[in-house]
Amino acid sequence: MNNSIQLIEKASRGKGLLNEEALYLLNTVPTKGDLFLLLLKTANRLTRQQFNNTAEIHAQIGLNWDTCSNSCQFCYFSEDLKNVSKKRELSEAEVIEKAKEFESYNVGSISLMATADFDFDKYLNISRTVRKHVKTVLFGNHGDLTIEMAREIKKVGFSFYYHALRLGEGKVTKLEREKRLLTMSNARRVGLLVGSCLEPIGPEHSYEEIISILDEMRNQGVAWMATMKRISVSNSPLNSYGEISDEEFAKITAVTRLYYGNKIIHYGCS
């Protein structure tokens, strides 16, 4: 039996994988053929077993459409890329209407997402109002949080806070790795669950970088984990790298799922 098959079998028990084991799978499993299918089927089966064959839809409301001074090179809203010609913000009434509509569909959670420059007090006020109108679990998604800001988020009634240490953080973004990690730890300290994502995956990322981010997220005790491939923004400097294939994305997603085992309470992919 080859090592990849043994590792996939080991991971099928839901106890997770070591960094070097996940790296080995990324390096050795191709994106077609029997081994590829075994990897995908094992990850799929583990997820179905852990979650009793049930999936949830998590809804998201984008509060604004605006440029962001952090100018992440993969982001359409980057100020440097100058893509946003017409700014827009949802009114409080519009946000409540959308939240109620999502609740009527029994979604698993509603995420309130704003670009990182969105005024924090305004974000809290809108979120507070939404909390009064819907009972569904709320997911916060804004910028970095100090411990005081994290307390405010918790007080509003959010259960989760979404935050990620992105691939290439600090190199293709103007944000500091340490602040991203501190935000996650602040969120956890005040009792929020942290939802995160391996993102945005592109052909420019080595498997070593991918494992290093997965390791950081696991050390941060994330409760909700997802994967997302980078979709090219046509005028971004990253556009020349192209995008990973759907098969490559599926492989990385399956290895991510096996890497975390059954410690994660939600898995997603977008």
**Which residues sit at the interface with ligand SF4, rule CB under 6 A?**
68, 70-72, 75, 77-78, 115-116, 173
Q: How far is the CB of 127 from ligand SF4 (least distance, A)?
A: 17
Q: Where would I find the beta strands (DSSP E) of the chain?
A: 58-62, 64-65, 88-89, 109-113, 138-141, 160-162, 193-201, 224-229, 266-269
The residue among 42 and 73 lying less far from ligand SF4, judged by its C-beta, is: 73
The residue among 163 and 218 lying less far from ligand SF4, judged by its C-beta, is: 163
Q: How far is the CB of 179 from ligand SF4 (least distance, A)?
A: 11
Task: Give dist(CA 22, CA 60) in Å, integer.
Answer: 31
Task: Give dist(CA 58, CA 138) in Å, integer.
Answer: 10
State which H helix or E strand residue 130 sits in.
helix 120-133
| Residues contacting residue 90 through CB under 8 Å, at least 6 positions apart | 61, 62, 63, 64, 98
The residue among 116 and 182 lying less far from ligand SF4, judged by its C-beta, is: 116
Q: How far is the CB of 228 from ligand SF4 (least distance, A)?
A: 11
The residue among 158 and 260 lying less far from ligand SF4, judged by its C-beta, is: 158
The DSSP letter of residue 86 is S
Backbone angles phi, psi at 152, to 5 degrees: -65, -45
Q: Which residues of 132-171 are buried (b: 16+ CB within 10 A; e: fewer)?
A: eebebbbbbbbbbbeeebbbbbbebebbbbbbbbbbbbee
Q: How far is the CB of 257 from ligand SF4 (least distance, A)?
A: 24
3-state SS class at 241: helix
The residue among 19 and 60 lying less far from ligand SF4, judged by its C-beta, is: 60
How many other CB atoms are there within 10 angstroms of residue 238's CB atom? Answer: 19
Q: How far is the CB of 104 from ligand SF4 (least distance, A)?
A: 29
The residue among 109 and 173 lying less far from ligand SF4, judged by its C-beta, is: 173
3-state SS class at 212: helix
Q: How far is the CB of 135 from ligand SF4 (least distance, A)?
A: 28
Q: How far is the CB of 200 from ligand SF4 (least distance, A)?
A: 9
The residue among 95 and 172 lying less far from ligand SF4, judged by its C-beta, is: 172
The DSSP letter of residue 192 is P
